[in-house]
Amino acid sequence: MYKRVLLKISGEALAAGRGFGIDAIFVSRVAEEIVELAKSGCQVAVVVGGGNFFRGVAEQAIHMDRVAADHMGMLSTVINAIAMQDAIEKLGVQCRVMSAIEMHEVAEPYIRRRAIRHLEKNRVVVFAAGTGNPYFSTDTAAALRAMEIRADVLLKATSVEGIYTADPKKDPEATMFSSITYMEMIQKNLRVMDTSAVSLCNDNNMPMVIFSMREQGNIVRVVGGEKLGTLVTS
């Protein structure tokens, strides 16, 4: 069983297929799994995306200044982080939202040593606002935070079972990799994460598991060592 994990959840996942907004039932379901992990002794950090509200590279932002659009996307992640915090604390586990953009009334500023201390006290930590910088995705933020807190593994929860040779929604012949290296991901042009996040993980030997969160209990199973999804290593 992993002792300290960073879980990346996309904003689109929190919308649970609705496209926009937050599905409270789905958020509660994810929170239940996170709380189960925390109560078992696993230290859990979470990075949330903001695509269920706004994405700086989406069509809706095509005529906007990229920096302004990315800042709007970062603020969207804060909404999701607060929703996740509320769901987790309703289940009896302390949770802290730490934002890369300072907003003291709703979140703590991100300070690496303080984040690690929260984890050591068995509090769940939700990292919001990406890296705080434009032009960087929340995938890159997840890779960066995973290394900063010295996580054992980066877990990327998606809507598919793992990494496939092609998009399984478009190609019925696509097959899933049980394991793959970061360099192979780049060489095969498998766009599961942006290249900067992949390079960051590869350069720093951060293992990653990409798996489906559609089935209840998968997060707990992956952390427990069950072979689900695709394992990515350097």
Annotated binding-site residue numbers for ATP = 8-11, 51, 55, 158, 164, 167
Binding annotation = 8-11, 50-51, 55, 70, 131-138, 158, 164, 167
Residues making up the annotated binding site for UMP are 50, 70, 131-138
Q: What's the CA gap between 221 and 79, in Å, rounded?
A: 28
98 in Cβ contact with 56 (< 8 Å) = no
